[in-house]
Structures are given as C-alpha cells and as structure tokens.
C-alpha cells in the first residue's frame, strides 16, 4: 500500500507541472467532491433526455494538448455500450476512465485510480456497473454450477465472486450487478490507503451507480450525494 505522498511524488515525475490546476465549474471555481457528483448526475440526465451540451470542465485558458484536468474518475465495465463521455455528456479530458470487464477493482485498476486521486486530484470516483453485464452473468453461472469460463477470464470471475456469494441463492440479476458495484467500491477503500485517506480528508467522494442500457438512465445508489462510502 503506497502512501498518498509517495504516489503523488511518483506521478508528478510522470506529468510534470500539469497538476497545477484543477477542473473548474462554469464560474471558475475548483470542482468540489459534491459538485463533481452533481456534474455527473446532471450529465447523465442530459444523456437520457438527448439534450446534449458536451460540457467541459477544463480550467479556463488551458488546453488538453498540454495536460488533463478530469473532474472525476470512473471505474466502469469495458462493455461497448457504456462509454462514460457519452453517458455523462462531457468532452475529452473531463473523465479519467478505468475500464475492464465487470468494473473490478484489481491491482491495476486501483493503481490507476490512485494516480487519478494523488496526482490529478480528481475529487470523485464513480463505480459504474450496468445492466446485462456479461462478467457478472458469467460469475453467477460459476457460483451456481461451478463452471468457469476458462483462460484469464477466470481472474475476473474470481474478483466478482465475493459479490455474488454473499447474496441469497434466489437473487435477481439487478441485485447481482449492484452487489458487484458495492464490492468494487469497498475494495477501493479497503485496499488503497491513498484513496481511503483522501476520502477521510474530505478531498474525495466515492459514489456508486448502475447504468441501464435500455432506458439510458444512470441509477445512482441510495444516499447520493451525501454518502461517500
Ligand atoms: Zn459489463
């Protein structure tokens, strides 16, 4: 487990002075954790309604040619129907995307998010699952029948497995997807000192949601936006 300062120092050498600024609201103020979640929620409503604005929270006078100032990091599935810039109606440079099948919090995903938090100073992480997630379905099958998919897909199933095993046998697919999101969010907090300390310091909020492909709706978990864990 690396310290916040250690990760920041390592990251700073990678990107130089590009962290001198942060994502900004339209009035020029720095995006806070709660504002970041609000921007995600508002963007998801624009996506659902079809009234796109392609918002940009890059600080005034700055260009993504010279750096990046994302206002949130998204841990989401690699599913081709769940691309965050579309779902949250923002431009390039606004979201630090960590994607893999099943939105699992493995070592590489956690390391990527630690970089976003410690170096890029993102004020929010959203763990985003989605309906009809093949990785979750494969894990449900593995838990129920013992049949593993094979190859390195097994590594994904093993990471999702605890989220399924803690549910009753007659759980629904929606419950399985939500449990997997919850499990990934818990893993971030439990396995990353960098992320946990940023949350404790009030510099970072972790939110959870499920994207419903059919309705284009992002269903933020209960307690939004007050609950960080
Ligand atoms: Zn998926």
pLDDT surpassing 90 at residue 15: no
- Residue 27 has a pLDDT of 82
- Cβ count within 10 A of residue 16: 10
| In a domain? residue 225 | no
149 Cα: distance to centroid of ligand 1 (angstroms): 15
Q: How far is the CA of 80 from the centre of ligand 1 (A)?
A: 9
Q: How far away, in angstroms, is 81 Cα from ligand 1 center?
A: 9
Going from the Cα of 90 to the center of ligand 1, the distance in angstroms, rounded, reads 21
For residues 171-185, give the mean pLDDT.
Answer: 97
**pLDDT tens for each residue of 110-165:** 999 999 999 999 999 999 999 999 999 999 999 999 999 999 999 999 999 999 99
From the CA of 99, how far away is ligand 1's center (Å)?
10
Number of domains in the chain: 1
Residues 6+ apart with CB under 8 A from 122: 23, 36, 70, 71, 72, 73, 96, 116, 204
pLDDT surpasses 80 at 12: no
What's the CA-to-centroid distance between 198 and ligand 1, angstroms?
A: 28
Q: How much distance in Å is there from the Cα of 180 to the middle of ligand 1? A: 11
Going from the Cα of 111 to the center of ligand 1, the distance in angstroms, rounded, reads 21
Ligand 1 centroid–CA 129 distance in Å is 7
* Domain-embedded: residue 228: no
Residue 41 has pLDDT above 70, yes or no: yes
Ligand 1 mean position to 61 CA, how many Å?
A: 37
Whether 226 is covered by a domain: the verdict is: no
Mean pLDDT for the stretch of residues 50-62? 95
User: Is 63 a domain residue?
Assistant: yes
Query: Range of 72's domain?
Result: 4-220
C-alpha span between 225 and 215 (Å, rounded) = 22
Query: What is the CATH number for 143?
Result: 3.40.1050.10
Residue 227 lies in a domain: no
Alpha-carbon distance of 155 to 133, in angstroms, equals: 16
For residues 174-188, average pLDDT? 98
Whether the per-residue pLDDT at 209 is higher than 60: the answer is yes
DSSP string, 179-204: HHHHHHHHHHHHH-HHHHHHHHTTS-
Question: Per-residue confidence at 222, pLDDT binned at 50, 70, 90?
Answer: confident
| Residue 194 maps to a domain | yes
CA of 101 to the centre of ligand 1 (A): 5
218 in Cβ contact with 128 (< 8 Å): yes
The pTM (predicted TM-score) of the whole model is 0.90
Q: What is the pLDDT of residue 28?
A: 83
């Amino acid at each position: 487990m690396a310290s916040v300062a250690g990760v920041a120092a390592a990251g700073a050498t990678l990107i130089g002075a590009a962290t001198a600024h942060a994502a900004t609201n339209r009035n020029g103020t720095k995006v806070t954790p709660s504002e970041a979640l609000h921007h995600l929620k508002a963007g998801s409503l624009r996506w659902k309604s079809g009234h796109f604005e392609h918002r940009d929270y890059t600080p005034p006078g700055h260009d993504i040619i010279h750096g990046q100032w994302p206002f949130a990091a998204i841990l989401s599935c690699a599913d081709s129907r769940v691309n965050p810039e579309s779902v949250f109606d923002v431009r390039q440079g606004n979201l630090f995307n960590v994607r893999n099948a099943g939105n699992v919090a493995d070592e590489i995903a956690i390391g990527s998010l630690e970089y976003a938090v410690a170096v890029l100073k993102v004020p929010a992480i959203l763990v985003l699952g989605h309906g009809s997630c093949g990785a979750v379905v494969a894990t449900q099958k593995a838990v129920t029948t013992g049949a593993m998919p094979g190859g390195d897909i097994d590594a994904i199933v093993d990471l999702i497995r605890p989220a399924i095993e803690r549910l009753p046998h007659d759980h629904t697919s929606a419950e399985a997807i939500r449990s997997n999101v919850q499990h990934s969010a818990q893993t971030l907090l439990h396995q990353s000192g960098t992320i946990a300390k940023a949350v404790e310091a009030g510099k970072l909020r972790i939110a959870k949601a499920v994207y419903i492909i059919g309705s284009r709706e992002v269903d933020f978990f209960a307690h939004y936006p007050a609950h960080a864990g």
